Structure 1
Amino acid sequence: MKHVVITGANRGIGFQFAKQYSKAGYKVTAVCRNNSKQLTALDVDIIEGIDVTKESDLLRMKESIGSKPINILINNAGLLNNDQLGDIDGGSLRAQYEVNAIAPLRVTDALLDNLSDGSKVGLITSRMGSIADNGSGSRYGYRMSKAALNAAGKSLALDLKDQGIAVVLLHPGYVQTDMVGNRGDITAEEAAGRLIKRIAELTLEKTGHFYHSNGEELPW
């Protein structure tokens, strides 16, 4: 049975990943800071109380997973604050960097021994991290942190290719989640379904690319 590990799995897109992969017959390890009733109701392994920005929690996550091989690792946990000129808070910027850019790299590094030839790493990023695609400005911490995540993902793809591990950077779309006040164009269920297809299509030839959930390749 193939094994998928998902961070930020208690709600939104992360929960839908857990639900849909479990339904498809995968063994799912759902990593989250706070558990939820909907996640508990799934037939998945849950590692709760994990703050992906804390070294001690990452060690506990690694110990809980042990030596189990991981076929798919999805770094989904994220943080969005509405940073605007005239109200720039350094703590807000740093928090978004910690969660959105640094944590996915540290999670992947912590679980590197569980990945092997044929494994895949999905980084849930955003087209707001695209410099070429920025036509509206603002949201400084989120844009900057997602651009940093894209840079990390490209380097991961290069560093892991010789081990047969493929990496993909994925923009879900404008999704109806708590993060955006449930505004959005598509549901979390639809977004997760699209992203699962993109991950299924991922090969070493496509490693390090940046895709919209609809399959469109996005500019850096």
Structure 2
Amino acid sequence: MYSVVTGASRGIGQEVVKELHARGQTVLGTYRSNAPAGADRLSWAQLDVRDPESHKALATRLDNCPVSLLVCNAGIYLDRTETLADGYPAEMWSDMFAVNVTGVFLTVQALLPQLQQAGHAKIAIISSQMASHTRAPGRSYIYRASKAAVLNLGRNLATDLRGLDIAVGIYHPGWVRTDMGGDAAEISVGDAARGLADRFEELSLENTGCFETWNGQQHPY
């Protein structure tokens, strides 16, 4: 029985892999280009979430291996410094949605047989408080739109997968001190990973479709 974490070569994803392993789970982390230094080949796999063939390869590797937890963490944030007057090029919209939204869907689709094999499986989608319609301070239009889209995707997957005994949760990991979050962020990556792991344990068909913060607070949609 596996837990699979995408985008796990650094930051929150890597720390979630460590936390789940510490809790006794057999964890497979994925990386796009380079495995973490010293990574055991048995616990890591290459996955470019933009590439359907890469998803097929991962599914083949996990053939007949039940996946009890899938954490869709892979994401990019490219428009932090873009300006409305001349920024946000179309290619950037395409690239960010390919990773942050389509990549999540393709991962779920590719590993659906393994999730069904597990019974009572769970899918955790890492979104952001920036997905919420209640937060509109401006800027970062592509990132905000992509995270809102993946929140909507998760909510609808929760409806469709309920009948397959698969629960789906969507989570804001907090403002975390990582390369993406920056040094001024509020919480450490360890705090975020521990809180998220607690949320994954609490996820069930009773609260499927939830949008929660890392520390267990319901977040407005």
Does residue 1:152 correspond to 2:153, yes or no?
Answer: yes
> Could you state the TM-score of these two structures normalised by the residue count of structure 2?
0.93
The answer for the alignment partner of 1:47 in structure 2 is: 45
Name the counterpart of 2:56.
59
Q: What TM-score do the two structures reach when normalised by structure 1?
A: 0.93
Give the secondary structure class of the aligned counterpart of 1:19: helix
CA distance in 2, matches of 1:23, 1:88: 41
Write the letter of the residue equivalent to 2:13: G
User: Which AA in structure 1 matches 2:107?
Assistant: V
Matched length: 215
Per-residue CA deviation, residues 23-51 of structure 1 (Å, 9 max, x unaligned), is 2211111111121116x1x6961102x21
Q: Which residue of 2 aligns with 1:132?
A: 134
Structure 2 distance, partners of 1:111, 1:124, is: 17
Mapping of residues 9-158 of structure 1, within 5 Å:
9-33=8-32, 34-37=34-37, 40=39, 45-48=43-46, 50-81=47-78, 82=80, 83-86=82-85, 87-116=87-116, 117-134=119-136, 136-158=137-159
3-state DSSP of counterpart to 2:71: strand
SS at match of 1:152: helix
Tell me by how many angstroms 1:180 deviates. Answer: 2.9
Instruction: Indicate the RMSD between aligned Cα atoms, in angstroms.
Output: 1.4
TM superposition outliers: structure 1 runs of 4+ over 4 Å: none
SS state at 1:74 partner:
strand
> Identity of aligned pairs, percent?
33
Query: Do 2:176 and 2:182's aligned partners in 1 also have CA atoms closer than 8 Å?
Result: no
CA displacement at 1:84 relative to structure 2? 3.1
- Is the contact made by 1:18 and 1:44 (CA closer than 8 Å) also made in structure 2? no
Structure 2 unaligned blocks of 5 or more: none
